[in-house]
Amino acid sequence: MLAFFFIYMALSTLWAGAMMFDGLAFMDALGVAFSTMSYDGPAFGAFGATCTYAALPDFSKVIVCLSMLFGRLESVTLLSIFIPSFWKKSGW
């Protein structure tokens, strides 16, 4: 449970940082990152309940897609595929 929490927080911070690098405000990037990683619904600020993510720059849209992918498909499972010891132990 602790590993899932830290991976979730690290990925959300990574997504928010990447979107801030692309020009989004801190609270907007944080809200979009957490709303796309989880099932919380709309973000807050400029991308709140009455807005869409259409106004995001192209790079941020790619980040949002990755965030949704990692959030919906369980980040621990996806990250374990990239660990070499996972493949050595399982006999694949």
pLDDT digits (tens, 9 = 90+) for 48-74: 777 788 888 899 999 999 888 888 777
> Is 49 part of a structural domain of the chain?
yes
> Is 73 part of a structural domain of the chain?
yes
- Domain span holding position 72: 13-85
Structure confidence at residue 83 (pLDDT): 76
> Is 7 part of a structural domain of the chain?
no
Helix axes 26-37, 58-72, angle to 10 degrees: 40
Tokens of 13: 């911070």
> Greater confidence, 40 or 22?
22
Structure confidence at residue 13 (pLDDT): 92
18 has pLDDT over 90: yes
Structure confidence at residue 53 (pLDDT): 82
> Is 22 part of a structural domain of the chain?
yes
> Greater confidence, 32 or 76?
32
> Is 35 part of a structural domain of the chain?
yes
Look up the pTM and report it: 0.74
- How many separate domains does the chain show? 1
